[in-house]
Amino acid sequence: MTRRDIAKAGGLAVGLASAILLLFVCFALPGVRSAPHAIPLGLAAPPPVAARIEQGLGAAQPEAFAITRYADPAAVRAAVVERAAYGGLAMGPDGTPTMYVASGAGPAVAQLLHQVTERLGEQLRATGADTGPPALQPSIVDLAPLTAEDPRGAGLAGAGFPLTIGAVLPAMVLFRSFRQRPMTQIVGTIIVAGLVGLGMAAILSGWFHSIPGQSSLWLVAGGLTLGVAATALALLGLGRIGGLPGVALGALAIVLVANPLSGLASAPELLPAGWGALGQLLPPGANATLLRSTAFFDGAGGGRPTLVLTAYLLGGLTLIAAGAVAGRRRRMAESGQ
C-alpha cells in the first residue's frame, strides 16, 4: 500500500464519516431541541376564568401556546375539527370544563394537552368561586382519535421518510434515464406519484389501519400523489437548469433539511422556533400536514399545504419547460452554424 493509497483512503474515510455525522445531526437535532412554540389552543370560559387560565399557562410554559378565545364550546369544537386549533378548553353552561383534543393532528401535541389538563383542573378549582359551582377536573374529548389498531399513530409517523425517498429516487432515475426527454420525465413522474400515493394510502388504510375507516382513501391518495409529484418535478426542474448537480443538491436538501423539519412524527409547533414554520414551506412538511388533514379531518386545514405543493409542482414544470426551450434553441443555433 502506497502513501497515495493511504492518503486517498484516509480522505475517503473522513468524508464518509463526516457525511454520516451530518446525517445524524440533521435528523436528531430537531428532536433534541424540540419544545412547544405557539401551539394554537382555543378557550371558551367566563372572562375572569379565561384570564387566569391564560396567565397560568403563560407562567408554566411561556410562549408554548397561542390562545384564542371563543364564544362557546361549539366554537371551540369547530376550531379543532377545522384545524384552526390543536385543542381547546370550554366551560359548559353548567360550568363543567371539557378539554377537546385531536390526536390525529399530532399525537405528541395531544399527549401534551393531556398533561396540561391536569394543571388546568387545579386552576379551575382555584377559580371555582368565580364560576358559581365548584369546577371539576376537565374531561377530555378526542375529536379526531387515532385508530384502535394504531393507537400511537406510528403508521403516519413512519410514512415521512418513505414519501421523501418515493419522490427523490424516481426523480434521479428518470433524470438519468431520460435526460433529453422532458415529456417522458413528466409522464413517468405522474405515473410513479400516482402509484406511490395510492399504494401508501391503501397500506395505511387497509393493512396498517392507521387511518380511520370513514376517511376517504381517494382523498388521502390524492394528497400523497400531489406531494410526491411536486417534490419529484421540482427536482427534475432543478436538473433541467443545473444538470445532475442540480438534482443531487436538491435531493440532499430535501432529505437532510426538509424531511427532518416536516413535523410528521411530532408537530411543526414542537420543532425549534422558526424551523417548524420553515418546514411547512418545503414539500415534505406540506405533504405531512396534508396527509393528516386528509386522513383525519376530511381535508380541513389542507388548503395551505396544497398551495405550497402546487407551487412546487408548477415551479418544477416551468423550469423543465424553460430548460427544454433553451436546449432546443441551443441545438438550433449549433445546427445553423
Residue 264 domain-assigned (yes or no): yes
Same domain, 175 and 315: yes
**DSSP class per residue in 39-55:** EEEEEES-HHHHHHHHH
Which uninterrupted H or E stretch holds 232?
Answer: helix 217-253
141: β partners: 100
Residue 21 domain-assigned (yes or no): no
Same domain, 79 and 172: no
Same domain, 101 and 238: no
Cα–Cα dist 330/188, whole Å: 25
Residue 192 domain-assigned (yes or no): yes
Same domain, 214 and 280: yes
Residue 148 domain-assigned (yes or no): no
Residue 26 domain-assigned (yes or no): no
- In this structure, are residues 175 and 245 in contact, taking their beta carbons and an 8 Å threshold? no
**pLDDT at res. 129:** 44
Cα–Cα dist 71/30, whole Å: 36
Residue 32 domain-assigned (yes or no): no
Given 117, 142, 167, the domain boundary residue is: 142
Contacts with 261 (C-beta within 8 Å, 6 or more apart), sequence order? 30, 271, 275, 276, 278, 279, 282, 284, 285
Given 109, 142, 175, the domain boundary residue is: 142
- Per-residue CA distances from 215 to 101, 161, 176, 271 (Å): 19, 23, 38, 28
Same domain, 117 and 209: no
**pLDDT at res. 336:** 62
Same domain, 161 and 123: no
39: β partners: 65
Owning domain of residue 59: 39-142
Contacts with 277 (C-beta within 8 Å, 6 or more apart), sequence order? 268
Same domain, 214 and 286: yes
- In this structure, are residues 144 and 102 in contact, taking their beta carbons and an 8 Å threshold? yes
Q: Hey, is 69 helix, strand or coil? A: strand
Q: Which three cell numbers stand for residue 63?
A: 410562549
Same domain, 178 and 109: no
Given 122, 142, 162, the domain boundary residue is: 142
**Which pTM value belongs to this model?**
0.90
Same domain, 177 and 209: yes
100: β partners: 88, 141
Which uninterrupted H or E stretch holds 267?
Answer: none
Closest CA to 256 of 234, 226, 282: 282
Residue 250 domain-assigned (yes or no): yes
Same domain, 246 and 107: no
Cα–Cα dist 150/210, whole Å: 5
Give the torsion sign (CA, 234, 239, 240, 242): positive
Q: Which three cell numbers stand for residue 23?
A: 446525517
Question: How do the pLDDT tens digits run along the chain, 337 residues long?
Answer: 787 777 778 888 888 888 888 878 877 877 777 889 999 999 999 998 889 889 888 887 888 999 999 999 999 999 999 999 999 999 988 888 999 999 999 999 999 999 998 877 776 666 654 444 545 678 999 999 999 999 999 999 999 999 999 999 999 999 999 988 999 999 999 999 999 999 999 999 999 999 997 678 999 999 999 999 999 999 999 999 999 999 999 999 999 999 999 999 999 999 988 889 999 999 999 999 999 999 999 999 999 999 999 999 999 999 999 988 877 777 777 666 5
**pLDDT at res. 121:** 74
Give the torsion sign (CA, 27, 23, 221, 232): positive
Same domain, 321 and 204: yes
Same domain, 166 and 52: no
Residue 315 domain-assigned (yes or no): yes
Count the domains in the chain.
2
